[in-house]
Amino acid sequence: MDRLVQCRGMRRLNRKMAEVALLACAVSACAPLGSLLPEGPTATLVPWRTPTTTRRPATLEPTLTATVELGPSPTPFKHVVEENDTLLQIAAFYGVNYDALLALNPGLNPTVLSIGQEILIPGPEGGPIVSLIPASTPIPLVLQPPSCYRRPSSGAWCLTAVSNPSSQDLENLIVEIRLHSPSGDLLEASQVFPPLNLLRSGATMPVAASFPEAEASEASARVLSVIPANGVEARYRAPTIIRSTDSLQEGGRSWLIAGTVELPSDTPMPNRTLLLATAFDDSNRVVGYAVWEPDPPMESGETRPFTLLVFSLGPPIARVEITSESYALADEVG
């Protein structure tokens, strides 16, 4: 059975990095909770509202930007071990070779990892990934102000999106979503990863965070890390997607997409293939997303049917875009 991850059921992405290769140093996206929502509640989630709730048009023009720059002495890219992590899982998560991971971390006991332990992540040539990054290259990114929606039980989902207006494909994106009190004090923060590794030139990527307990009046978002994607053609494949069904449902609250996905014949094995359906409202704001992953993994050249159902967390869906990626996993990981 294919695994389908829906936006309203997304698990919290809570992997954290102790240190990252790039730091955001300019404007972050910020919006009052509920200020970008239409009147009336959603079918499943309740928008956060304040006494000064207004409806204002959203745009992806770079009026709100996060400029990410490299410092003169960037810190090597590291993974911080969390509960139940294994070295094989870490290698698979970053798509790196298991032996290269061991070689870059001499003295590491792969069978005994400690929570909080830092592990260097190797680049394609085996050295720390920071050695592949050019010095001090600013990368402009466009952040959608986050919208937050209370869950019927407790807590909330906060949804934002990052657009890449540059000509450079990017990866290793980390976004921090923050909740603030009416006086501006920071209440909670969550560092989250996007559903796909690669943020291609001209593309928009949704990012969401779950807050189990939250009482706030404003949310903000900022980019913590992103690096230029080197060797994209060698490391990634773009599956061919044919959409045969596009059905707007529930008055625009959900959208059903079905069709087929075909892997290129030169796709490395084993690989991980992901399809991302991103829902936009009529103001071009991201309002939801869903991810499809084949189970079992697809073979090179294989064609397989898929079905994706994406829900809106707020305004009705006006259109849905599908993007995809396939990348090799370490040979040692089955």
pLDDT tens, position by position, 96-151: 778 888 888 888 888 888 888 888 887 654 445 444 444 445 678 889 999 888 87
Is 271 a member of any domain? yes
- Among candidates 160, 161, 164, which has minimal Cα distance to 139? 164
Q: Which two tokens stand for residue 324?
A: 């995809």
- List the beta bridge partners of residue 260: 242, 305
Domain end marker among 114, 132, 150: 132
Is 296 a member of any domain? yes
Q: Residues 206, 207, 212, 217: is their CA dihedral positive or negative?
A: negative
pLDDT value at residue 207: 95
Domain end marker among 86, 112, 132: 132
- CATH number of the domain within which 282 lies: 2.60.40
pTM beyond 0.75: no
Contact 246, 255 (CB under 8 A): yes
Is 113 a member of any domain? yes
Q: Which residue ranges of the chain lie beneath pLDDT 70? A: 1-77, 123-138, 214-217, 330-334
pLDDT value at residue 216: 63
d(CA 254, CA 317): 7
Is 34 a member of any domain? no
Is 297 a member of any domain? yes
- CATH number of the domain within which 100 lies: 3.10.350.10
pLDDT value at residue 83: 81
Is 164 a member of any domain? no
Domains: count for the chain: 2
pLDDT value at residue 163: 94
pLDDT value at residue 320: 96
Is 106 a member of any domain? yes
Domain that holds residue 266: 236-328
Domain end marker among 68, 101, 132: 132
pLDDT tens, position by position, 76-106: 567 888 888 888 888 877 777 788 888 888 8
pLDDT averaged over every residue in the chain: 74
| Rg of the chain on CA atoms, in Å | 20
Is 230 a member of any domain? no
Phi and psi torsions of 43, nearest 5°:
-65, -35
